[in-house]
């Protein structure tokens, strides 16, 4: 019986589309559809080929592992194929996988109840193979098409977490050849910082952390890769000579013992119920990580059982990927809006039809600047791919050009400020368009929000919505006015509206207790140290560290205001760019009036005597790594600095203490190599308690 022509056409069309998207995603790192959209195409093709096996051909996308490698690198044949994993989108599909594996084991006269399992977070990065010969790194390659990858040894050598030689015990002989597999990734904070730097420099931004990691590893110049804070989790031993173990768990422990970075969240389970519970837990735990994951990997632990189960097509029968809700989605971009920041920067953002991605509903997403929008060719009215990775703010990856109808409009930054109507400017050499009017209402509101924020004056109870409300009502016109608010101004003030379950609108107002707490918080903030006040003023380029440097050098606001640009630039760590911004700030009459009003309210504009004296941790340098459970890293940093110490981002010769929380990174290993003092969180709290 012949195959219906419509089925033949659909299969051919699906193959072309999948190959096209494979190429965009794996080769060019420029996806134009979401992961969920790609998976839907792939599943449809698998289903049609399963129902019509006469259509199955060796060149079908379902019969190969991945995309072809880039020709710019030397090609490397893997000593053992790097297969991908089948996906389970829900617990039912996960249970189906377990039943199939148990049935096959029983058919091979193995008790399925004897099977243990290992669960691991599924890192959304770039899969790589590391081959060690006689204990030394000989070659590193990308997965490529599973059989052949790209030789990126020189770039991988720049990643400090990858050992150049195995850590061997005394007298231990390394295997002649052993292949270690892992996932290279970029931490979320580093990804956001990298994109901000690229946007400010007028360069294309990366769509997501995975693309950033892939783009970094594939740099032809290793110096570029070295500047990117790439990291790795190692998850498997592949090919090996004169070397054998009994289980996957033993392999992970061997990797840890021999200097490889193994994820601390891997777990071994005696039964399948533990696997199910762990997969559920990962859905909730996901936002707490500083790297992106898109699921959990489940493997049968016994290597003998793995060999008995073997493979089906491109997938191992002994492992499966439990996939989370997709972190990408496709929706329509209705309009590009503009926010005016506290320094006058006009920041574009996407207003979209609400869509769910990463388990949350998204209606707005960040856009970096006009140049970036034009590079990606994003237009108002486009269907766009959006990406949400962990806690990173949703971003627009790019348009789905095939869906254009011709009514989409090219975006241009406004010639006038949407807040005050002033003509906008784009300073030479910058990619940011600005409003030059220092009395612009949006700039003033944003500066007040910054002033009351946690890292600045930390005024509890005065949130962003309340600041906007107070400004609209004319109760405050600048940050100094906050200290002249009276109880009668605030009692009964409407703060927000909502609709209850009965559909009735509810008006929320400030009550006596809230007002009393707010006024007390304002009063307490009068005693913030000078460097915190200086940071809270919101001077362009002056962050908390620069504010401390300026406060320590000039001691009071009058000396700083009287200093020339060259004098300011000579302060260690400041430089001409910050010096120019400081002089520009104090040259504005509006800012001088605000300082006068703050001074009258009793705000500290000078170093206190105890701040100039030697403090308990003066001259001591700290590095924080891992998650601090009892005290956040921001608060730990603040306490160290309040006691005179400094906090650095990297371990070096000048480091005195490395404070280690849960899941510490490579900084701990560096500290051990340099023989630096390592403190647990409990020891750190005792130290600052006695010092304070």
Residue 159 is inside which H or E element, if any? none
pLDDT (0 to 100) of residue 408: 94
Contact between 618 and 548 under an 8 Å Cβ cutoff? The reply is no
CB atoms inside a 10 Å sphere around CB 517: 12
CB atoms inside a 10 Å sphere around CB 49: 19
pLDDT (0 to 100) of residue 391: 43
pLDDT (0 to 100) of residue 597: 93
For 227-278, give the secondary structure using H, E and C: CCCCEEEEEEEEEECCCCCCEHHHHHHHHHHCCCCCCCCCEEECCHHHHHHH
Instruction: Report the C-alpha gap between 184 and 190 in whole angstroms.
Output: 14
pLDDT (0 to 100) of residue 266: 94
Burial-class residue 469 by CB neighbours within 10 Å (0-12, 13-18, 19+): middle
Instruction: Report the C-alpha gap between 183 and 121 in whole angstroms.
Output: 11
Beginning with the edge strand found earlier in the chain, give each strand of the sheet holding 177-185 in spatial order.
136-142, 126-133, 177-185, 231-240
Main-chain dihedrals φ then ψ at residue 291, nearest 5 degrees: -140, 160
Tokens of 427: 């300073």
pLDDT (0 to 100) of residue 29: 47
pLDDT (0 to 100) of residue 22: 64
Active-site annotation, residues: 122
Main-chain dihedrals φ then ψ at residue 504, nearest 5 degrees: -90, 135
Beginning with the edge strand found earlier in the chain, give each strand of the sheet holding 677-680 in spatial order.
646-648, 621-625, 657-660, 677-680
Mean pLDDT per 10-residue interval, the chain, length 692 residues? 84 82 56 73 85 76 52 83 88 93 93 94 93 93 90 87 86 94 90 79 77 86 83 94 94 92 93 93 79 91 94 88 81 95 91 83 87 91 80 76 92 94 88 89 93 86 90 92 91 81 81 89 91 91 83 92 92 86 91 93 82 63 81 78 76 83 76 83 81 57
Burial-class residue 404 by CB neighbours within 10 Å (0-12, 13-18, 19+): middle
* Strand ranges for 413-504 from DSSP E: 494-499
Candidates 93, 94, 113; CA nearest to 103 is 113
What's the full length of the chain, in residues? 692
Tokens of 66: 């991945």
Hey, what domains does the chain have and what are their CATH numbers? Answer: 5-63 (1.10.287.610), 87-323 (3.30.470.30), 328-410 (2.40.50.140), 452-609 (1.10.150.20), 614-691 (3.40.50.10190)
Instruction: Report the C-alpha gap between 603 and 608 in whole angstroms.
Output: 12
Strand partners, 627: 662
pLDDT (0 to 100) of residue 609: 59
Contact between 141 and 149 under an 8 Å Cβ cutoff? The reply is yes
pTM over the 0.95 mark: no
pLDDT (0 to 100) of residue 577: 87
């Amino acid at each position: 019986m012949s195959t219906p022509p419509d089925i033949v056409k659909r299969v051919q069309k699906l193959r072309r589309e999948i190959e096209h998207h494979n190429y965009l995603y794996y080769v060019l790192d420029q996806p134009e559809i979401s992961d969920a959209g790609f998976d839907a195409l792939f599943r449809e093709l698998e289903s049609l080929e399963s129902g019509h096996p006469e259509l199955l051909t060796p060149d079908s996308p379902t019969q190969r592992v991945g995309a072809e490698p880039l020709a710019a690198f030397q090609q490397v044949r893997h000593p053992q194929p790097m297969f991908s994993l089948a996906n389970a989108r829900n617990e039912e599909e996960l249970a189906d996988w377990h039943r199939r594996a148990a049935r096959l084991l029983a058919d091979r006269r193995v008790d399925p109840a004897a099977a243990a399992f290992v669960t691991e977070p599924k890192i959304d990065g770039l899969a790589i193979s590391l081959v060690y010969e006689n204990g030394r790194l000989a070659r590193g390659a990308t997965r490529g098409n599973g059989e052949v990858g790209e030789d990126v040894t020189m770039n991988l050598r720049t990643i400090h977490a990858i050992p150049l030689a195995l850590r061997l015990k005394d007298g231990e002989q390394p295997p002649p050849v052993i292949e270690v597999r892992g996932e290279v990734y970029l931490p979320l904070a580093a990804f956001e910082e990298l994109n901000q730097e690229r946007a400010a420099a007028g360069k294309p931004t990366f769509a997501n952390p995975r693309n950033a990691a892939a783009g970094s590893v594939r740099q032809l110049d290793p110096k570029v890769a070295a500047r990117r804070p790439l990291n790795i989790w190692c998850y498997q031993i592949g090919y090996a000579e004169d070397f054998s173990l009994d289980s996957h768990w033993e392999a992970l422990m061997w990797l840890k013992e021999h200097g490889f970075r193994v994820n601390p969240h891997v777990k071994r389970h005696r039964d399948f119920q533990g696997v199910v519970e762990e997969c559920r837990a990962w859905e909730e735990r996901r936002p707490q990580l500083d790297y992106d994951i898109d699921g959990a990997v489940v493997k049968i632990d016994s290597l003998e059982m793995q060999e008995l189960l073997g493979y089906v097509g491109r997938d191992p029968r002994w492992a499966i990927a439990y996939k989370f809700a997709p972190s990408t989605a496709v929706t329509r971009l209705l309009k590009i809006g503009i926010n005016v920041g506290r320094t006058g920067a006009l920041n574009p953002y996407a207003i979209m039809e609400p869509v769910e991605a990463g388990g949350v509903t998204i209606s707005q997403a960040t856009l970096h600047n006009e140049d970036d929008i034009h590079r990606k060719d994003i237009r108002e009215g486009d269907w766009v791919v959006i990406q949400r990775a962990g806690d990173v703010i949703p971003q627009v990856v790019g348009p789905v050009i095939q869906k254009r109808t011709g009514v989409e409009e090219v975006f241009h930054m406004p010639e006038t400020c949407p807040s005050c109507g002033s003509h906008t400017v784009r300073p030479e050499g910058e990619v940011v368009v600005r409003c030059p009017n220092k009395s612009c209402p949006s700039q003033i509101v944003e500066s007040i929000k910054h002033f009351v924020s946690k890292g600045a004056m930390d005024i509890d109870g005065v949130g962003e919505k309340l600041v906007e409300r107070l400004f609209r009502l004319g109760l405050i016109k600048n940050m100094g006015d906050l200290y002249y608010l009276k109880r009668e101004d605030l009692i009964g003030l409407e703060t927000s509206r909502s609709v209850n379950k009965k559909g009735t609108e509810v008006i929320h107002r400030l009550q006596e207790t809230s007002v009393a707490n707010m006024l007390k918080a304002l009063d307490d903030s009068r005693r913030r140290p000078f460097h915190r006040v200086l940071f809270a003023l919101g001077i362009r380029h002056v962050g908390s560290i620069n504010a401390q440097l300026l406060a320590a050098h000039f001691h009071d606001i009058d000396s700083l205001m009287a200093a020339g640009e060259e004098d300011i630039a000579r302060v260690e760590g400041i430089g001409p760019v910050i010096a120019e911004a400081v002089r520009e700030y104090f040259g504005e009459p509006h800012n001088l009036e605000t300082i006068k009003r703050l001074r009258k309210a009793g705000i500290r504009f000078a170093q206190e005597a105890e701040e100039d004296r030697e403090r308990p941790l003066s001259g001591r340098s700290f590095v924080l790594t891992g998650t601090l459970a009892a005290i956040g890293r921001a608060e730990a940093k603040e306490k160290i600095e309040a006691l005179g110490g400094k906090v650095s981002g990297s371990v070096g010769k000048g480091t005195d203490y490395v404070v280690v929380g849960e899941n510490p990174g490579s900084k701990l290993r560096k500290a051990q190599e340099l023989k630096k003092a390592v403190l647990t969180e409990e020891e750190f709290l005792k130290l600052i308690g006695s010092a304070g």
